[in-house]
Structure 1
């Protein structure tokens, strides 16, 4: 497994993957070394750079997350949430065909190993509240604002 780091506007992203695909992307507050990027991770780092520059809305990467079959079903459903849009945990449960699975869906969402690529940040509470995010609610808010097609203008 190879590792690379990228400084982003909301922390340092850590990429892990190999020839089988990108296995995880996580974010840290602590400064990480930005060294030579392994060839298998160059495209991921490049696409993330484009995303943060506002030039990319969809990732085109080979993915290889590790998880249970149920978690992978949830993560695949997350991939269907369009850029700039949100859904609720309840709607995600409906999409997966089991309203009673809302807690399991929320747990799988929270275990998503592919930060931003598999857009778990686009899942919010049924009442519109920003709820739980492994990277911190401040990052979730930043990501949703970044992806919002209607940018708030400053009055000052």
Structure 2
């Protein structure tokens, strides 16, 4: 089996998580500068077998698209052109940042460590991926 890679797309930084080859465990991989995201994904997918990208879908409480969806749509178009052989699946990402922050508190990270926004993004991507895995 191939890995599944999750993306928590952000204006500045993007959190990335990935499954193991058996698609059982979701783990945070890294956070990359959004400007470098496509290059990172092309490099990663040339080295690892990835069968699916799971991309967070930000929504408002009334189920309408959030403002940041306007940033994600152009990225998805570029992604499908640059890496056309890997499909994209969208997952509702409401509350993932809050859940990521709570996860950091629950795991005993100090206040200074919890201010690391890159870590929050990586944990958010992991939560998006776990949500996808639970739904399969």
With normalisation by structure 1, the TM-score equals 0.30
With normalisation by structure 2, the TM-score equals 0.33
More helix by share: 2
Which one scores higher on RCO, CA 8 angstroms, separation ≥ 6?
2
Name which one, 1 or 2, has greater alpha-carbon Rg. 1
